[in-house]
Amino acid sequence: MGQAFANGGMVLVMSIWDDYAVNMLWLDAPFPTDLPTTNPGVVRGTCSVDSGKPQDVEKNTPGATVIYSNIKVGPIGSTFSGVAAPGGGPPAGGSSTSTKPVTSTTTKPVTSSTTTKPVTTTTTTAKPVTTTTTTKPVTTTTTTSSAPPAGSCAAKYAQCGGDASFKGPKCCQAGSTCKYSNAYYSQCL
């Protein structure tokens, strides 16, 4: 499994189905049936080697359905809360919720896939660009009336004017002057 994850991930497939080849014995009964049950790994559960026959399953549960819910994906221990249960099992008092269970009433596999792609962030540092305009003169507005309090004026390099929607300060703190750039923007320089 580890190698499969390293090769790009895996797909979780859940379904309700019959096993005509070996009656699902590989899941929860002694399997392979021709080996002694004393061999390691042969006993896989408590079901009998006579169980799981598709004919019996289909006859006894013809309208079988399944609901897959509370499925969570994440590193071990990250999809629940609580304290680990004795013996290393899932945490006691853990909780999980599901907003939309997946329901299947067919014998076709239900497939769910999650792919995580790395996110690449590129930072570009722009070089300063100097533009010289000779077609329009730059207008400087200087107010010679009594100066407003220093705290209510814009700091150097801040906006100090613009169209009627601009509600900020319209003056600059000492050491800079409000320079008109266009009808929407003036800056303290």
- In angstroms, rounded to a whole number, what is the distance separating the alpha carbons of residues 171 and 181? 15
- In angstroms, rounded to a whole number, what is the distance separating the alpha carbons of residues 157 and 134? 23
- The 10s digit of each residue's pLDDT in 143-175 is 444 455 556 899 998 999 988 888 899 999 999
30 touches 37 (CB < 8 A): yes
- Quote the pTM value: 0.33
43 touches 37 (CB < 8 A): yes
Confidence band (pLDDT; 50, 70, 90) for 177?
very high
- The 10s digit of each residue's pLDDT in 74-106 is 888 888 776 554 555 555 444 444 334 444 444
Exposed (0-12), middle (13-18) or buried (19+): which is 180, by Cβ within 10 Å? middle
**Paired residues of 83 in beta bridges:** 92
Percent with pLDDT over 70 in the chain: 63
**Segment 19-46 mean pLDDT:** 92
